Copies of this chain bind each other. A is one copy, B any other.
């Protein structure tokens, strides 16, 4: 028995060793499996549906055991399981009909190139585990800095590869980028002063006592991304410290209201340590007046951060970059490469205008990140990080700036086309005009739109609430039917007296989305709506009663 066990252990040892040593030659088992995966993925990625609908509870059954397997599986068997149960039930985020979120088709060349990233498995926290990947990442940060700030060559020669400096940080996403920016801003605002060793060292409680502020706040448009609230929580400032400022009819922050707030805070001895401008709101894609915000930040001595996670890529377009005028005055900027720079998930960045700013969060250790080293990890919120920067680097080189310009321009113009389609359609209502490639709208039958104009406040509210329910219903039903996907959200349009309104939200970043697809999306929604009016008879009843009432009057 012991002999058998020993033999078994040897066999396992042998098979484990193989796992780490046998590469994928075309004729090998792994080579065959890879081919199968590629073919399967290609079929999946070329099938233009948003998702094959199966209830989540059903899917959960395939992922229900919390036991770690006691027996190994063959790679081929497990691959089949993954293709059947995972891939087939995943979301086709790159389908041209998937226009509900900020995902898109990716350039196919990233598939083979990502092998380099996965295969080399570099760790960018330090040079010792990344070597050439570190200068590459520093260069990409330099390129993005250049895109935003246009400093001269001498600037980049001096700072891009400087050991004790960093032009920014690669992050897993925009949330970490925003946290990093506000972390730097907070630490700079509460810096060492006399006996006080700074918030970095002594913490917020002592910092506030030292500086004698009543409170510390950040001002941002009411359309700011939810990650800012999360940042405020993490950083110990509290969610209440994020002061939402009203937006105008185009979802852009009202600068006058922000100024008034800043004056009010001054009176109350509350320190506004940062102003955040939004360049591409998550829900409607609008851009704050960045130039005016830069003026305010300068006047009131605040750190000026621009959350351009979405809109930053627009700087690639000579035609549309002026929409972001003023961004070059920001102290820090967030850009997500996995959004409209078309690289896979996990490529956020924060860029700082001044190469010295990140010293506010610098840290060292004995075994790595020693002072004077060029290790990127001394200026990042994260520790170990993958070589994701290389995929952005490759895309910048292969697509080039004019290529990106074309992608950006096409997406914006497609949104303008879709907006005109909606505006012309009697049964749809455009809620927010596209400034970038995002827009919101809803289904509202022509007669109901007329009734809304004539209704008294009570009737109006009743009708609007019914429309909210129907929008939600249509969105869910369309998603479930699996042909196409738009998302939904709730915003407060000025045209409807800032009433919280449920709307369809569309992001048109995928270059494969055609005008015909957009027409079909509306058609499908109209069809679902027609059926749904059976579930929501109230809309017709109310509409007719309001219109009849008018005739009677």
Contact = CB atoms under 8 A, between A and B. Distances in A.
A73 B382 contact: no
Contacts of A37: 112-113, 115-116
Stoichiometry (number of copies): 2
A346 B240 contact: no
Contact of A344 (B51, B197, B203, B386): B386
B82 A103 contact: no
A276 to B, nearest CB: 16
A241 interface: yes
Interface residues of A, number: 180
Contact of A120 (B90, B175, B187): B90
A477 interface: no
Contact of A173 (B237, B383, B399): B383
A17 B217 CA distance: 46
A68 B147 contact: yes
Contacts of A361: 233
Given A30-B109, A37-B112, A119 B22 contact: no
A471 interface: no
A483 interface: no
Interface in A249-298: 282-283
Contact of A116 (B82, B203, B401, B490): B82
A56 B512 contact: no
Contacts of A12: 402-403, 406
A258 B363 CA distance: 25
Contacts of A46: 23
Contact of A128 (B16, B133, B183, B485): B485
Residue of A24, A35, A230, A382 with highest tally of chain B CB at under 10 A: A382
B365 A108 contact: no
Interface string A60-89: 101111111111111100110110011101
Interface in A106-134: 106-116, 118-123, 127-134
A477 B44 CA distance: 51
A145 B349 CA distance: 32
Give the secondary structure class of A's interface. Answer: helix
Nearest to A25: B42
A207 B130 CA distance: 42
Contacts of A299: none
B143 A67 contact: yes
Given A90-B122, A114-B115, 7 more contacts: A20-B106, A30-B111, A73-B398, A75-B398, A82-B390, A200-B233, A344-B386
A396 interface: yes
B238 A108 contact: no
Interface stretch (A154-162, A419-427, A539-547): A154-162
Interface stretch (A93-101, A323-331, A441-449, A457-465): A93-101
A130 B398 contact: no
B366 A489 contact: yes
B38 A24 contact: yes
28 contacts: A13-B406, A16-B399, A19-B108, A19-B109, A59-B132, A62-B132, A66-B139, A67-B146, A68-B146, A71-B400, A79-B113, A82-B116, A86-B132, A91-B128, A93-B121, A103-B129, A173-B382, A175-B381, A183-B233, A186-B236, A200-B239, A201-B238, A201-B239, A203-B232, A205-B215, A345-B385, A348-B384, A368-B487
Contacts of A230: 363, 381
A161 B160 CA distance: 46
A344 B368 CA distance: 20
